């Protein structure tokens, strides 16, 4: 291991995001090692999605900084971050619902298919677009969706839509992929397949950070887990250590307590 590998690929320092009086993310720091599958968990309303939104440039941080390969990226535009290699997926099935499956992934190839205005007009971008079509089909094949390429998205069952969301993100050739609840709404069989796919994505050299509620999946999949509560860091460590940490058990029990004695979100 050299010094290059030691430097985190993604890092947050003192990240804070307020909405009016509400502090959704509160002086939160973490770092993601290159090549890792890094879990981000915490009770509902802990601030996980907001953290993703700040890292990926949808919200500016109220305070604190985000670094990508040592470069300060705080407050940069989402599209500029995607061009650097930082791509996120969305909670739920956020897709171009009116497009075919293939066209969704073709949009994902946006960065890989640069051409001038005149070239688009005259159609000299054709070889480029044919290649983009091939690459989009490859991305679909990776998720086993190639048969559905010409279907409208709205015909796809929920589990397939979630996979398509990842195919779109993967088509953008990320170095870091942020997955927001990739297993939600999937049956156990689909979840198992998806876990294999996430590992294969990592094996292709993509660093993965994921938010997920399915504890079994998180514990099995992640190399390291960061737990947040009330917007702040609670615990960080390997799955085994996190699972048995009293503070984590307390946070989850608290949020799940039906009598409201805990800190329900």
- Which residues lie near other proteins (CB under 8 A)? 56, 58, 77-80, 82-83, 87-90, 94-99, 103, 106-108, 110-111, 113, 115, 117, 120-121, 123, 125, 129, 132, 168-169, 171-172
The pair of structure tokens assigned to 11 is: 């890092």
Please answer whether residues 113 and 129 qualify as being in contact, where contact means their C-beta atoms are separated by less than 8 angstroms: yes
Q: How far is the CB of 180 from ligand ADP (least distance, A)?
A: 8
Three-state SS annotation for 64-127: EEEEECCEECCCCCHHHHHHHCEEECCCCCCCCCCCEHHHHHHHHCHHHCCCCHHHHHHCCCHH
15-74: which residues touch ligand ADP (CB under 6 A)? 19, 22, 24, 42, 44-50
Report in angstroms the alpha-carbon separations of 25 from 48, 247, 258. Answer: 8, 19, 25
- Which of other proteins, ligand ADP, Mg ion, none does residue 123 bind to, with CB < 5 to 8 Å depending on kind? other proteins
Q: How far is the CB of 145 from other proteins (least distance, A)?
A: 17
Cα–Cα distance for residue pair 139/170, rounded to 1 Å: 7
Report in angstroms the alpha-carbon separations of 16 from 5, 51, 177, 256. Answer: 27, 9, 21, 25
107-166: which residues touch ligand ADP (CB under 6 A)? none
Cα–Cα distance for residue pair 242/223, rounded to 1 Å: 11
With respect to Mg ion, which residue has the nearer C-beta, 44 or 187?
A: 44
Q: Does 49 bind Mg ion (CB under 5 A)?
A: yes
With respect to Mg ion, which residue has the nearer C-beta, 82 or 179?
A: 179
Q: How far is the CB of 184 from ligand ADP (least distance, A)?
A: 11
Q: How far is the CB of 22 from ligand ADP (least distance, A)?
A: 6
With respect to Mg ion, which residue has the nearer C-beta, 211 or 242?
A: 211
Q: DSSP state, 147? A: G
100-159: which residues touch Mg ion (CB under 5 A)? none
Cα–Cα distance for residue pair 74/59, rounded to 1 Å: 10
With respect to other proteins, which residue has the nearer C-beta, 21 or 123?
A: 123
With respect to Mg ion, which residue has the nearer C-beta, 49 or 89?
A: 49
DSSP string for 29-71 = EEEE-TT-EEEEE-STTSSHHHHHHHHTTSS--SEEEEEETTE
With respect to Mg ion, which residue has the nearer C-beta, 49 or 161?
A: 49
With respect to ligand ADP, which residue has the nearer C-beta, 52 or 68?
A: 52
The pair of structure tokens assigned to 85 is: 């290699």
The size of the interface with ligand ADP (CB under 6 A), counted in residues, is 11
Options 7-15, 45-53, 67-75, 167-175: segment touching Mg ion (CB under 5 A): 45-53
Q: Which residues bind Mg ion (CB under 5 A)?
A: 49
Q: Which residues bind ligand ADP (CB under 6 A)?
A: 19, 22, 24, 42, 44-50
């Amino acid at each position: 291991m050299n010094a290059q590998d030691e430097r985190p690929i993604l890092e947050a320092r003192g990240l804070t995001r307020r909405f009016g009086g509400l502090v959704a993310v509160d002086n939160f720091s973490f770092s993601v090692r290159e090549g890792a599958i890094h879990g981000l968990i915490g009770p509902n309303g802990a601030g996980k999605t907001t953290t993703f939104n700040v890292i990926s440039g949808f919200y500016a941080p109220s305070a604190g900084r985000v670094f990508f390969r040592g470069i300060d990226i705080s407050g940069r535009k989402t599209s500029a971050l995607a061009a650097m290699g930082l791509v996120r997926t969305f909670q739920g099935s956020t897709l171009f619902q009116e497009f075919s499956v293939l066209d969704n992934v073709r949009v994902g190839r946006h960065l890989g298919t640069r051409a001038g205005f005149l070239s688009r007009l005259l159609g000299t971008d054709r070889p480029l677009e044919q290649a983009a079509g091939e690459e989009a089909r490859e991305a679909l094949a990776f998720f086993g969706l190639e048969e559905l390429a010409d279907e409208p998205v709205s015909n796809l069952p929920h589990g397939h839509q979630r996979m398509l969301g990842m195919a779109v993100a993967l088509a953008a050739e990320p170095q870091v992929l942020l997955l927001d609840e990739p297993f939600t709404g999937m049956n156990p069989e689909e979840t198992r397949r998806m876990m294999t796919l996430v590992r294969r994505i990592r094996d292709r050299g993509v660093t993965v950070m994921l938010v997920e509620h399915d504890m079994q999946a998180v514990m099995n999949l992640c190399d390291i887990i960061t737990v947040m509560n009330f917007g702040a860091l609670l615990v960080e460590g390997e799955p085994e250590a996190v699972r048995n940490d009293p503070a984590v058990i307390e946070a989850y029990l608290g949020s799940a307590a039906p009598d409201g004695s805990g800190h329900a979100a």
